[in-house]
Structure 1
């Protein structure tokens, strides 16, 4: 199915249409909180093998759509498939998360090559083709990638980090060589997103999960500018594709990303106030967000009140209901079903 044929509520909202009730999907909606996901995961030895096995990636992508009827699916994969495809060693330790053979010197860049991406990530693109064919026409399919700064963080730190001292020291002390890595990642991410669009996704999301560790000037240079270059490069190949930007934890600097000529929507994290976002961001661009994932764990009246508050603040303009980050493993599935019910039954009053 072509991208243009899936014209449900989600895609129309990204194009600026406001509906009486907003569309909803959740980051990490396919994940360990679902027993059916855990059953499939148990059949695969490693997480990367899981991502690269199309029938399993398809199944877990479809599971939350079957269970909750979200307005969009997001292909099951990981942002670190890009450094893996470039030639950096990537693996996942159970209970610890991703590990990479860390880059320590620019001479190692020569081992990385975009030429591997199409073949190495062919299973991801095959999963997209089959998932798009299996989804209802009104349900959008999202592709995604990590933004260059976040990918560089993992590639230089070798894992997640509390202070990102290695990557920031490299970027601050040797901006020329760090810029070479960012340039490579911009090109690689454009390739990866373009291949996803060609396989059938209806839109893409760029995750800059660690953008918030940067000071403002460096935030523009190492986060926003590369994301803008990716948007430009992708649109040169696929002019109509919607692009959602998610620069996490940047606070009021989110104003820099308020660029409707570049991004179709901004995904806001829990630290962005809904009232401020409605005033400063939403008149210019579609918003997505921003329920605290732990509210989804807590459920009950606390979740109801917070979901209603967000809807009352942001539901009067183009808005996609989502979380401020991803669903966490301890989330009760019944709470997710209740959240969908709250969003579907919301009635807009006065803004």
Structure 2
């Protein structure tokens, strides 16, 4: 079994094992990305985004770039949540200026073109990226592997593209519940295998991103989000005991059920989370992460500094990781990122 032991010298793993730090460890969602010139230079070598993600040397390079520049406590694997549907046989492509485009899975016939069998094996370049990154990190830095949660990935697969309105997937669930459940089962299986392989390659922690958890009725959220991710966690823990973070973005009051029932070591908070409530209600059950509005880091200045200091002060004494409530946007000034790190470190 792959083991993370108790976190060793890595502050972030210490937090995920329930041990508060004198200053919270820090990393950022989308810390490897277009706001960095060095990332854009590497990205320009590849005409296709999936090809980029599946080129281990370059994927490892961009994963390590923000660690070299800013010295965060963790690197997160550079990949994409849509690599799983790609590996399952769905046609996935990225169009410049428009984002991902997929052949929508809206019928049982289209379901037959997909398979979870050996999907994780087809993503072997990702595991080589993990090995390269782990070899390039200092021992006190954590490497986080990740995947999209089944409902979020299913939403893209059904909608056929990124969208601000994910209701088509929910409507399909109401209309064809067994078909969607079958798709979810495939995704649970492929995702668990994918995360296990990342841990075996050297990931110290794992994160599940449920970007479309918002807006679901409680019973639907429990089935499609909470229970699906708990099943992934159960399968992963049969092979490894590395800690697992879950990010049910927009889940609101249902965060409490996730914290109490979810069996995850870490729970990532979005920007709308009431922080005092989270400390009182959630932190007794799970390590917390996040909450900083990425748009504040775009603007910088007094408001950004006060927000960072508020988070550090609010979560003093409980297991907490400083992070964003969503990922960096491309227009983020790198100097503002450096300032956030400096504030958190108390420099």
TM bucket normalised to smaller: over 0.9
Identify the residue that residue 179 of structure 2 maps to in structure 1. 177
CA distance in 1, matches of 2:74, 2:16: 12
Equivalent residues in 2 for 1:80-91, closer than 5 Å? 80-91=82-93
- State the SS of the aligned residue for 1:211: coil
Identify the residue that residue 340 of structure 2 maps to in structure 1. 339
Q: Is residue 207 of structure 1 aligned with residue 214 of structure 2?
A: no
CA distance in 2, matches of 1:10, 1:4: 12
Deviation at 1:107, TM superposition (A): 2.3
Aligned residue pairs total 344
Q: Is the Cα–Cα contact under 8 Å of residues 4 and 242 in structure 2 kept in the other structure?
A: no
CA distance in 2, matches of 1:147, 1:23: 24
- State the SS of the aligned residue for 1:213: coil
- Shift in CA distance, 194/323, structure 1 to aligned 2, threshold 3 Å: same
Q: Is residue 60 of structure 1 aligned with residue 49 of structure 2?
A: no
2:45 aligns with one of 43, 46, 52: 43
* Consecutive unaligned residues in structure 1, runs of 5 or more: 347-351
Equivalent residues in 2 for 1:136-175, closer than 5 Å? 136-175=138-177
Q: Is the Cα–Cα contact under 8 Å of residues 143 and 201 in structure 1 kept in the other structure?
A: yes
Identify the residue that residue 77 of structure 2 maps to in structure 1. 75
CA distance in 2, matches of 1:241, 1:260: 19
Query: CA offsets, 1:273-305, max 9 Å, x none?
Result: 111101110121100011000001011111001
TM-score when normalising by structure 2: 0.96
TM-score when normalising by structure 1: 0.95
Higher mean Cα deviation, 116-125 or 80-89? 116-125
1:224 aligns with one of 223, 226, 237: 226
CA distance in 2, matches of 1:261, 1:225: 8
Deviation at 1:261, TM superposition (A): 6.6
* Consecutive unaligned residues in structure 2, runs of 5 or more: none
- Shift in CA distance, 218/248, structure 1 to aligned 2, threshold 3 Å: same
Q: Is the Cα–Cα contact under 8 Å of residues 84 and 120 in structure 2 kept in the other structure?
A: no
Q: Is residue 264 of structure 1 aligned with residue 269 of structure 2?
A: no
CA distance in 1, matches of 2:297, 2:14: 26
Deviation at 1:169, TM superposition (A): 1.0
CA distance in 1, matches of 2:279, 2:15: 15
CA distance in 1, matches of 2:340, 2:167: 38
Aligned-residue RMSD, C-alpha: 1.4
Q: Is the Cα–Cα contact under 8 Å of residues 26 and 74 in structure 2 kept in the other structure?
A: yes
Identify the residue that residue 300 of structure 1 maps to in structure 2. 301
Query: CA offsets, 1:310-340, max 9 Å, x none?
Result: 1111122000000000011000000000000
CA distance in 2, matches of 1:246, 1:335: 24
Identify the residue that residue 26 of structure 1 maps to in structure 2. 28
Q: Is residue 135 of structure 1 aligned with residue 137 of structure 2?
A: yes
Identify the residue that residue 115 of structure 1 maps to in structure 2. 117
- State the SS of the aligned residue for 2:117: helix
